[in-house]
Copies of this chain bind each other. A is one copy, B any other.
Amino acid sequence: MIDEQKLQQILRDFANDRDWEQFHSPRNLISALNVEAGELLELFQWESANHVVDVNDPQTREKVEEEIADVFIYLLRIADKLDVQLEDVALAKIKKNAEKYSVEKSKGKAVKYTEL
């Protein structure tokens, strides 16, 4: 279980202590989310037939975990600012996706629902 509210309180305090709320508009936090998602992608950007990232290598794993953490931290802040419950919206979206991507039509296909 993830204690969303506890984490968000910690992050709120962190920002308040540093007088950072002035920078934490939804838009800015979403920009930061994109930057961190890019840093996570950077670790995998050159993967190819003979170059697979070894996620069990301790140094790589540490970096991967830190970038995943950064993405999650900003996502929690965004959700807090916009009063969005992450589990609720995820469940609603999964339900919607199940309708857009029926098992019958989408089986084994990596295409957008508009092309099914």
Contacts and interface: CB of A to CB of B under 8 A. Distances in A.
Contacts of A26: 44, 53, 55
A55 B78 CA distance: 12
Tallying the copies of this chain within the complex gives 4
Interface in A1-41: 1-4, 7, 10-11, 14, 17-20, 22-23, 25-28, 30-35, 37-41
Contact of A14 (B3, B25, B32, B94): B94
6 contacts: A31-B44, A33-B40, A51-B110, A64-B84, A65-B89, A73-B90
A99 interface: no
Given A31-B31, A65-B84, 9 more contacts: A20-B110, A25-B48, A31-B41, A31-B44, A38-B39, A48-B110, A68-B82, A68-B89, A72-B90
